Amino acid sequence: MSTAISSVALRVRGYHLDGYGHVNNARYLEFMEEGRWAFFDDHPRLINQLHKAGRAFVVVNLNIDYRAAAVQNDDLQIMTGIVDVGERSAICHHRIVRQDGVLVAQADLTFVLLDMKANKAAPIEGDVREVFEGLVVDKDAFLA
């Protein structure tokens, strides 16, 4: 797996479950957010450049493909990486895999960079763009 892809482990707990004994669909949003925080931890240069430029990472769209159920005590691996950088938005890909290798969910999250002073979306440019582009991976890299 590419070093540009972050991975974090998470154990499913009882409070993650719905009435059917499966992880509630909304909990996957939290799992993916945990993956993004790990991504920023693993790539401090990115978060430093965002702060330096006065930019914030803002989610504008999320498309999740639920593939298999996860249940209490399952150990999940949440993988996170950048798969595309455009002029004004970029795409972060998440892949959640159960300990037996089964794909539980995957998602594409579109984000923009918010100009903190102007309070509006800003172009992805300069040093921030350079860092993002250096982290871009193909989705196939999540399978390695």
Read off the pTM: 0.93
Euclidean distance between CA atoms 76 and 96, whole angstroms: 6
Residue 1's pLDDT is 64
Residue 3's pLDDT is 86
Q: By percentage, how much of the chain surpasses pLDDT 90?
A: 97
Residues annotated as part of the active site: 18
pLDDT tens for 45-74 read 999 999 999 999 999 999 999 999 999 999
pLDDT tens for 77-99 read 999 999 999 999 999 999 999 99
| Structure tokens, 72 | 């209490």
CA distances from 43 to 14, 16, 29, 51 (A): 31, 28, 21, 13
Specify whether the CB–CB gap between 115 and 129 falls below 8 A: no
| Phi, psi at 113, each rounded to 5° | -105, 125
